[in-house]
Structure 1
Amino acid sequence: MPATPVAFAWTVRSKDENIRDFLVQHMALRRYQALSDLDHTELTRLLTDADDQARELLATLGFFNPALTWHHDKTAAPNASGHLGQVILDVQTGPAARVTQVQWQWQGEMTDPTSGVVLQSIIEKQWGLPPGEIFTQSAWDRAKNKALRQLVAELYPWGRLTQSQARIDTLNNQVSLTLTMDSGPVVRLGELKISGATKYGSQQVERLARLSSGQAYRQNDLLEAQQRLVLSGFYDSVFISLDPEGEQAQAPVNIEIKESLRQRWQLGVGVRSDSGPRLTAEHTHHSIPGLHWRAVSRVAVDKDLQSFGVELLAPPDNSLWRWNTSAQLQRQQQVDVMISSQRWRAGRIQMAPRIDRSYFAQYDVATQQNNPLGAVESWSGNFAWAWRDFDSLLFPTRGLGLGIELGAGTSLGQVQQPFARWLAKGLHIWPLGERSGRIALRASMGSVVIQDTRNIPTTQLFLTGGDNTVRGYAFNSIGIDLGNGQIGAGRYLSTGSVEWQHPMRWQGTTTDWETAVFADVGAVANAFHLLKAQWSYGVGARWRSPIGPVRMDLAHAQALNKWRLHLSVGFTF
């Protein structure tokens, strides 16, 4: 393919490749290269303007005294159409300007020493461009936006940055910053103005939102109310905001919702990294006639797993507790063993953005291929609790999550034995800095206490391995070695993972992509002292998609000496 004709060749030379690429990309000379009718007089004028533009661009990066040398070789013709020769810019940026001081001025009700001084101190201490830092326009903009977000996050939603100034001493490469922030009044929530509630009523919206008139404004309270409404499944979209036309000190809250259809079908085709192509179908009825509960039916089919489930869920009460009952039938290939199982459950559940609780009675029955005992049954009473304290429930970058499941019951049939089961898990995301990413530490541990594990369904025991546990191994392929290549579930489980997640940057700006380096470990055994670690390690990529993080991991299973690709979507804890 022939090269695109240009009027002149254009090159930037600099010791810093980022500076070179930045100028080449943003300077107007690149655009004028395509003008075939350009002459020497016009090019000379453009080079004068280009010098000013280059200095302005370098100033945005903190270089206010660059040495720029232009070369215009009129005899050098890059091709037949390059009749104006070659233009070369040599760049010596000189030292970057650094911030020497930051002066704050505060206005509004946050100047009250009893309420606003703490927030003032937090904003000033966490200021993103402190003395000693290199001044750039992008860093200046980011720091101001962060300070404003901190101001309006609690109590002061009408806060604004009324004035900002960067005084630059170009001779000494120093910058002095001045900011004036007006908090406005302390705001409390007023009445709820709900629009769009027709099929399911305004009372249900109020129960799920849990926003009461008179409570202090917190931006996070509005976001959590929005999440509760969306996660309920009754609404396709929810938008919650303060009414700017209302009273400033006690602002009304606008809740705009779009209700879900009373019935909905969802069909899906996908690929699981552990079992290949997967077909799914789901039907939701949001208000069963007469009962007014929500019913969700699901079917999923792939090479290793075929399942059908039905769940009935009552509307939430004033404390967000909901009655629920469910049934699930499943046929699963676990390594070389086929297991058919049923699970029936009834109880109550409370789901919130930060804390989930549930208690329920459960009946299990499982039949394992070539098992002379046939179907094995049990019933149990259970309690589950999960707590999340992450900065974002969709794309967390810091925080802690803890969860525990407790159960006790007895096996059924000719041999009846009591048993107890517990499982604990945790996730800690530890930030290392804006440019350094974060460390994610994950761990889980559990056990089943019973005299003989053969007398309870294998679904009450433990297996591990797969996308969200020990990558590099197939789903639930780590367990007890039964001989002849067969793997069985065990009474003890232990897993752990450490992962470094690092943001990818392009031309100084953070993108929606991240890289990951990780090591996973897991073990299953019938005795605690027999737990034998199965290690894996690998690298991965993360993409912040509209539906949540998409994870792509390539992991090496140490015990198998094999690599495996894992794909998954979303963040769950």
Structure 2
Amino acid sequence: MRYLLLLLLCLPLAALALDYRVEIDAPQALQPLLEENLDLLQLRSDDSLQERDLEAMLESTPAEAKALLETEGYFSAEVSVQRDGQLVHVRVNPGLPVTVGQVNLQFSGAVTQVDDFRHFIEAAQAGWTLPHGAIFRQADWDDSKKAALRPLLLERFPRASITASRAEIDPATRSATLTVSIDSGPLVRYGPLQISGNERYPESVIRGQANFREGGDYRQQDILDYQSSLEKDSHYSGVVVAPLWEQLQGDRVPIGVTVSEVKRQKLELGLNYSTGDGPGVRLGYEHYNLFRRGYTGSVVYDWKHDRQKLDLGLALPRETGGYSHAVNLHVSHEDVLGTQTDSRSLGVFRIRQVGNIESRLGLEYVLEQERDHGVLSRDSKALIASYGWTQRAIDNLLRPSSGYLIEAQVASTVGELGSDTRFQRGYVRLANYWSPDWLHGTLVTRVEGGQVFAADGSQVPTSRLFKAGGAGSVRGYQFESLGVKNSDGTIEGGRVLATSSIEYQYPVTQNWRAAVFVDAGDAASSWQSLNLATAYGVGARWLSPLAPLAFDLAHGNRDKRWRWNLNLGLAF
């Protein structure tokens, strides 16, 4: 018997762990609050729990439950705990909730002296989530206090603080009187910019992008916009913009800007291949400090056996409000299905980037010649004014699963000035990534359409007409092989365009997705003659560290042929 007792004492503590169940009898809306927070439930799996610990918890549970219920507005709850062997019953009668009877917002400090003081009061009231008659909940009380303070912090009074807050509960009337006192502190203005890390490029590149000036009223949005603008600037790989509060002098706070610069020059070489276009080479060169003024010069040459393209660009640094300016010279030659096109264009552009929205206003002069099997068929020139608007909102550029693209363009010749004919052109493209919970994967959809309005379509530059086919358009067909077919088999651009695509991507591993898709589209001389070419196929997506890499094998139903493409980048 002595050895048996000794053996029992040596048993692991886990074998003697308490085993009990808890049943909570409470309104359904309050069940999760109690189940997720009561010690009685949270510590049940603790192997070190002993009988005396359980007894202590049974005794403290009523007070603990009442404290939890008060956070939801129930200040007269009745809670009882009863143990029946290994079963613990917790019964809760929450009673009636306390509602908000009166709200007092009190402001002091410099904000009371500004002309638009009423604006701050209205902004605080608009964000308040506990109006008269609402159930008093602790989370809403905390959120309301933050909402009342936020308008001051965002604009002119970033040193504002809550000096006092009270919630007086009257159990007899089940009402709460709420009082919040806010001291705005001083009205803060911008001090000087303090720039560090800038060595290769002139400070004017940094200073010119601030949409505020020394002495202006502080706004947090100004700082965020300034940070965003500098992050998009090609001169810098890293940027931090922040107020230097430790250097606050009077009402002026300096703004610190720390940048990490990219190298002054960049050379890029790219190789690509597809069944429709064959091998290709892309060579690019950029210089980020032309004339020692921070201007960016670029040269890009693209070569494929059936088309070559040279782009020369000059981009000026961003200015206040997100504006920048650019000049571009474009020269290209194409030989697609017997049609040779030589194009030259010179354009000037005013570009604005705000958040994920880019707008572009341009003026271009275009010269083009087109030959069908060596015979000149088109010789056109045009002076074109254009406007483009693009919003690209993607959750993750490397692993896209949600987001959209909206792109719209309008263009018109400037009357007959410098042009062979008058024409107007419109184009729109919509695309979307969608990954709902019920769909194990991602659905990628795309539609695009366009139309050219012209009295004489034969005088419209080919680059302003439409063709379809190839990656990013209708897979399963050669690049730009869908258009207006001439009697000799050559393909010309059409006045109208319509394409669409739907693709399902299934995650195979963390970095690989399988894809199935259906594409359709065509370009034609009119909507009546539009005859959609369809295709279907399968593909693989590798989510590489650089960008998604897509391999597609597609069957074009019109010519009954399989073609494959390899493409780097997003689906739009």
Q: Say yes or no: does 1:256 pair with 2:258.
A: yes
Quick check: 2:421–2:456 contact (8 Å CA) kept in 1? no
Q: 1:246 aligns with which of 239, 245, 248?
A: 248
Q: Say yes or no: does 1:324 pair with 2:324.
A: no
Equivalent-residue separation in structure 2 for 1:86 and 1:202 (angstroms): 73
For the residue of structure 2 that corresponds to 1:312, the secondary structure is strand
Equivalent-residue separation in structure 1 for 2:27 and 2:302 (angstroms): 54
Equivalent-residue separation in structure 1 for 2:428 and 2:169 (angstroms): 52
Equivalent-residue separation in structure 1 for 2:522 and 2:73 (angstroms): 53
Q: Per-residue CA shift, 1:36-65, capped at 9, x if unaligned?
A: 343333211122223322222222232333
For the residue of structure 2 that corresponds to 1:149, the secondary structure is helix
Structure 1: segments with no counterpart, 5+ residues: 75-84, 270-278, 396-400, 428-442, 496-521, 534-546, 548-567
- CA change 1:215–1:11 in 2 (3 A) is same
For the residue of structure 1 that corresponds to 2:223, the secondary structure is helix
> In the alignment, what sits opposite 1:105?
106
Quick check: 1:230–1:238 contact (8 Å CA) kept in 2? yes
For the residue of structure 2 that corresponds to 1:214, the secondary structure is coil
The one-letter amino acid paired with 1:68 is V
Q: 2:62 aligns with which of 21, 33, 51?
A: 51
Equivalent-residue separation in structure 2 for 1:461 and 1:406 (angstroms): 12
Aligned pairs for 1:364-513 (under 5 A) are 379-385=381-387, 405-408=410-413, 417-423=420-426, 447-453=451-457, 456=460, 459-461=463-465, 491=495
Residue 104 (structure 1) shift: 1.0
Q: 2:53 aligns with which of 34, 42, 60?
A: 42
Quick check: 1:421–1:446 contact (8 Å CA) kept in 2? no
Aligned pairs for 1:160-175 (under 5 A) are 160-175=161-176
Aligned pairs for 1:145-160 (under 5 A) are 145-160=146-161
For the residue of structure 1 that corresponds to 2:208, the secondary structure is helix
Equivalent-residue separation in structure 1 for 2:165 and 2:335 (angstroms): 63
Quick check: 1:286–1:293 contact (8 Å CA) kept in 2? yes
Equivalent-residue separation in structure 2 for 1:492 and 1:35 (angstroms): 71
Q: Say yes or no: does 1:199 pair with 2:210.
A: no
> In the alignment, what sits opposite 1:440?
none
> In the alignment, what sits opposite 2:33?
22
> In the alignment, what sits opposite 1:554?
none
> In the alignment, what sits opposite 2:136?
135
> In the alignment, what sits opposite 2:348?
347
Q: 1:361 aligns with which of 345, 364, 369?
A: 364
For the residue of structure 2 that corresponds to 1:145, the secondary structure is helix
Q: Per-residue CA shift, 1:287-317, capped at 9, x if unaligned?
A: 469896435678999xxxx998856333338
Quick check: 1:417–1:450 contact (8 Å CA) kept in 2? no
Quick check: 2:127–2:144 contact (8 Å CA) kept in 1? no
Greater radius of gyration (CA): 2
For the residue of structure 2 that corresponds to 1:350, the secondary structure is strand
Quick check: 2:23–2:87 contact (8 Å CA) kept in 1? no
- CA change 1:207–1:28 in 2 (3 A) is same
Aligned positions, number? 466
Equivalent-residue separation in structure 2 for 1:308 and 1:300 (angstroms): 5
> In the alignment, what sits opposite 1:81?
none
- CA change 1:202–1:20 in 2 (3 A) is same
Aligned pairs for 1:295-314 (under 5 A) are 295=297, 312-314=313-315
Residue 268 (structure 1) shift: 11
Equivalent-residue separation in structure 2 for 1:131 and 1:282 (angstroms): 64
- CA change 1:458–1:184 in 2 (3 A) is same
Structure 2: segments with no counterpart, 5+ residues: 1-13, 272-280, 396-405, 431-446, 500-520, 533-545, 547-567
Deviates more, 1:154-163 or 1:281-290: 281-290
- CA change 1:15–1:238 in 2 (3 A) is same
The one-letter amino acid paired with 1:407 is S
TM-score by length of structure 2 reads 0.62
Quick check: 1:109–1:116 contact (8 Å CA) kept in 2? no
The one-letter amino acid paired with 1:405 is V
Residue 174 (structure 1) shift: 2.4
Quick check: 1:12–1:20 contact (8 Å CA) kept in 2? no
Quick check: 1:523–1:531 contact (8 Å CA) kept in 2? yes
> In the alignment, what sits opposite 2:277?
none
Deviates more, 1:450-459 or 1:116-125: 450-459
Quick check: 2:210–2:319 contact (8 Å CA) kept in 1? no
For the residue of structure 1 that corresponds to 2:209, the secondary structure is helix
- CA change 1:133–1:298 in 2 (3 A) is farther
- CA change 1:114–1:38 in 2 (3 A) is closer
Quick check: 1:234–1:259 contact (8 Å CA) kept in 2? yes
- CA change 1:523–1:164 in 2 (3 A) is farther
Residue 132 (structure 1) shift: 2.3
The one-letter amino acid paired with 1:33 is R
Q: Per-residue CA shift, 1:313-364, capped at 9, x if unaligned?
A: 333386754333264879999xx99999978553233324277443232548
Aligned pairs for 1:86-97 (under 5 A) are 86-97=87-98
Residue 282 (structure 1) shift: 8.0
The one-letter amino acid paired with 2:260 is K
Equivalent-residue separation in structure 2 for 1:460 and 1:55 (angstroms): 72
Equivalent-residue separation in structure 2 for 1:307 and 1:144 (angstroms): 62
- CA change 1:264–1:41 in 2 (3 A) is farther
> In the alignment, what sits opposite 1:565?
none
Equivalent-residue separation in structure 2 for 1:191 and 1:171 (angstroms): 57
The one-letter amino acid paired with 2:189 is R
Quick check: 1:361–1:379 contact (8 Å CA) kept in 2? no
Q: Say yes or no: does 1:7 pair with 2:8.
A: no
> In the alignment, what sits opposite 1:276?
none
Quick check: 1:417–1:451 contact (8 Å CA) kept in 2? no
